[in-house]
Structure 1
Amino acid sequence: MQIKKFLKTRHLMLCSFLFITACIENAPLDSLSPAGPYARTIDDLFWLTFWIAVVIFFIVQGALLFSVFYFKDSPDKPEPKQIHGNNFLEILWTIIPVIILASIAVPTVRTIFDLAREPEDALKIEVIGHQWWFEYKYPDFAITTANVLVIPEDTPIRLEMWSNDVLHNYWVPKLNGKRYLVPGQKTYLNLHADNAEEFWAQCGEYCGLSHSKMRGRVLSLSQSDFDSWVMNQQKNAANDLDQNSLAYEGQQVYLNAGCTQCHVIDGVWDVQGEQIAPNLTHFGIRNVFAGAALKNNPENLTKWLANPAQIKPGTFMPNLELTEREIEALIEYLGTLK
């Protein structure tokens, strides 16, 4: 008896917990807290559909309960009148669903076209999906970066997207819906952030072992801050380090340990390898790395460089068998890339 009571209590607590978590507001991937016009358009459609469904639910359940109790079988009651074949009723409950479906379909189709339309004077950014990170290119500014998409606030953004390997899905729930990244085919997504704020992004399509850790950030800045960011990103990495410094030692690790086979640092190693791994030119100012799965700090970098596959199973970054000294030096060097 005690075990059954415990299990009932446990199930009740679990159900209560799931109910409470569903009511959480302002979660990082909360699609019910729109922060831009495209997300609000989707939100408006959601609530329209939701309230239509609520009204239908109560009407149907009310009719069901009425039928159960009012037409309850009893010896002293005659058999209810049968309505099978009643043309009026059959036409009525055919027309009503058509009206309901039309009231949902028309705004849905309108929303689809509104979201797909390319905005005027939009900033164009390319998004390339990799296992398991997002690469960003700004053709107008000759900038390549990764993990953190930086955009100006209150400005329309047009993303041109494709995948470099398998099917991915780009999703920034507070700014718009999901869109597939397809190998060999371009897709498009519009973003527009009302204010300067940081948003979470996530791959929304299972794409391998570390799919859940294929995340991202969208950082919306004021126009002046965005202009400053662009100017900084267009600079090459400093290549005049003190040869007696730990950072210089880390640069030599980068150049000689195999990092250059995949990673580019503009001004230091310019061989184009962006299609293999993230461009590290301004790695030091990114607040996340490893597909935005980890915060950019020395502790996480130490774990990552010691054994990347332990953090992200299936990652293409090999274990280079770096010594503690090499890892320390490399972290010091990466911190200078600002």
Structure 2
Amino acid sequence: MSPRHPSEDRAPNQVDVARMAGVSTQTVSRVMSGQQNVRPETARRVLAAVEELGYRVHAAAASLASGRSRILGVIVVSTDRYSTAAVGVGIEQAAAAHRYTVTTASVADHASPEAFIEAFDRLERQGAEGIVLGVPVELDSPAMRLRTDRTPSTRNERASVDPDAPLLLDQHAIARLAVEHLLDLGHKTVWHVPGDEYWLETQQRQEAWEQVLTERGITPPPVIAGDWTPESGYRAGRIIASIPDATAVFVSSDEMAFGLIRALHEAGRSVPEDVSVVSVDDIALAGFASPALTTVRQPFEQMGRAAALRLISQLEGTDVTDAVDVRPELIVRASTAPPRP
């Protein structure tokens, strides 16, 4: 006789799954909580029954049964930057693949270290077993170390002062790719519009920009302030447009580059014929700008997955990490060209 489906007037439960899979309810519980002491074939039968019945685990009940919440916390700076959302997608994907849920705590831009500590405490109270620190600055204080000692954590590191930090995306390499591309096209110098100086990646890209120019015997021109927003890029573009011999600009984000290019167009300077522009990120709109942006791609989703997998490895005591290529890549499009003769 085939297993009975639950009646239409109630949701399926663990007993229904166990009956369909031909196992005990304890086995269903072990599979659904991610425990490893279940034979693979048995686990596949249980998961097939779960899928067919549409069974959903009640998170609070699962937590009580297993003694684990299977919640990952993420601390992020409240911003509308594309990178934050893309990193979050990667974290969510990795968490879901290993049967974790994600809860997020946001702090204000330019927040104090105390604000990050309060966010950490808030996630702990919500039951987070581990926490991803998606923050712009180094948080190294006795108070933060006390928390990271008791609750596993990892950084989503786009920049670090520690060259051996895990999952590190080389911000110096990003700037080198951009600046060397422009100089190799024949431009005599490269102007720079950085992001908000609060972010460590801003500082490291500016250091590399200066270093590359100095290595080529070029005195770096003055930095033109930016803050990641298109508006700041627009203001920087108006300044660049007023400098007749400015033919190449390294802009620290695609979003600022959009504003900069608009300002150049309004001033009658064409891109790339008059001014070549290289930016950073390679967001979805970069290839559809006018002209399409030459930019240094950052693998945001891969970085999010890598951070989550590293944290899950700590929690599970096993190696669940995947190979993640975090090298930046120069994507050459139509916004760069050799300078006019």
Normalised to the residue count of structure 1, the TM-score between the two structures is: 0.26
Choose 1 or 2 for highest CA Rg: 1
More strand by share: 1
